[in-house]
Amino acid sequence: MTLEWPGLLWLLFLVPVLALAYLWAQRRRRKYAARYASLIVVKDALGKGPGIRRHVPVILFLAGLTVGIVAVSRPSATVTLPSNRGTVILAIDISGSMRAHDIKPSRIEAAKAAAKSFIEKQPRRIRVGLVAFAGTAALVQAPTTVREDLYAAIDRLYPQRATAVGSAILVALNAIFEDEKRSQSGDTGQPPGSDPQATGSDPQAQPPADQPLAQTPDQPPPPVAPGSYTSAVVVLLTDGQTNTGPDPLDAAQAAADRGVRVFTVGVGTNQGDVVGAEGRYFRVSLDEDTLKKIAHNTAAAYYKASDESELMRIYNALSVRLVMGKDTLEVTALFAGIALAAFLLGGLLSQLWFNRL
């Protein structure tokens, strides 16, 4: 717990001062009773006195005062709550192997449907971006809260040649930190007079897939603990068969150094399927080992989807998991409420037991 105004804690010295004053008053009262011995006879005639009960209202008052002083210091606590802020980058594999039919109607169509379901279940303030990758990777939709733009971008995806998982991770990281810089500066991310829809779906308009992460030109940011960046995550949906571009594990290490989690979803079955292209046929299967290592190295998790319904369930589980995060909340009202309750209870007991406040 942290305090916005810790200097006000000096007021806590009032609590022991008041406690000592109360003890002094009680001792003075006993001396006064001993001076007038006849009071002992009166006490015996009246029966047993209030005993320890007479101290309860005072204890409640001092406890309420202590909590109240902490309240005016404006305490804040870090708690884990469902978050309504943040960025999710969906990276969808559109390589030729995604045309396989071991998941019905096909890997890519099942992935599209599950991605739309995932987006629909996100809180409205979660910004979602879309990266598509085959032989290269491109940000086809910058992070946005407009769900219709995301659905349209997903519908435009179609299979292409090759697979570059490493490029997808690097482009997703660039999208996260470029979006963070724009948010901090208030920039929309679009040139003056440009059409935001026009730039979102043109791969040629995007930076090269192997471009370094957004950072200062002189020195890269120091590595942080994997998974420590809680403002954004990457969800990578692929069959994992990389055959071009940067090494996926090197790209995953870059994500880990920035604290970004990369959740991986393996699309396909262990036996795979036969895919034909330009008169040639080849078998495609799921490369789980690489996807598991990517998730492990970035402090995330790997999920396997062997059919469309399972893919839907995976995205539903991710929808719950990704929106949980730690947040710092001011809990002044909570402390003030506890202090008020202690004051009221002490006053009520004093009135009931002794007919006075």
How wide is the angle at C-alpha 290 spanned by C-alphas 284 and 294, nearest 5°?
140
With beta carbons less than 8 A apart as the criterion, state whether 175 and 142 touch. yes
Give the pLDDT of residue 208: 42
**104: confidence class by pLDDT, cuts 50, 70, 90:** confident
My answer on whether 48 and 188 are in the same domain is no
With beta carbons less than 8 A apart as the criterion, state whether 88 and 129 touch. yes
How far is it, in rounded angstroms, from Cα 126 to Cα 120? 11
My answer on whether 315 and 168 are in the same domain is yes
Could you tell me the pTM of the whole model? 0.61
**298: confidence class by pLDDT, cuts 50, 70, 90:** very high
pLDDT digits (tens, 9 = 90+) for 179-237: 666 665 555 444 333 333 333 444 333 444 444 443 334 456 788 999 888 888 999 99
- Number of C-alpha atoms within 13 angstroms, CB side, residue 306? 5
My answer on whether 74 and 223 are in the same domain is no
**276: confidence class by pLDDT, cuts 50, 70, 90:** low
My answer on whether 131 and 275 are in the same domain is yes
Q: Write the CATH number for 297.
A: 3.40.50.410
Domain of residue 202 covers 84-322
Longest dimension (CA), the chain: 117
Give the pLDDT of residue 85: 67
Give the pLDDT of residue 279: 53
Region 38-62: mean pLDDT is 66
My answer on whether 313 and 335 are in the same domain is no
Region 141-158: mean pLDDT is 93
My answer on whether 340 and 228 are in the same domain is no
With beta carbons less than 8 A apart as the criterion, state whether 57 and 80 touch. no
pLDDT digits (tens, 9 = 90+) for 120-145: 888 888 889 999 999 899 999 999 99
DSSP output for 90-130: EEEE-BGGGG-SSSSS-HHHHHHHHHHHHHHHS-TT-EEEE
My answer on whether 116 and 159 are in the same domain is yes
* pLDDT of 257 higher than 70: yes
pLDDT digits (tens, 9 = 90+) for 331-348: 889 899 999 999 899 888
Using alpha carbons, select from 146, 81, 90, 157 the residue that is nearest to residue 118.
90
pLDDT digits (tens, 9 = 90+) for 284-294: 667 788 999 99
Chain center to CA of 182 = 20
Q: How many domains does the chain have?
A: 2
My answer on whether 125 and 45 are in the same domain is no
My answer on whether 335 and 298 are in the same domain is no
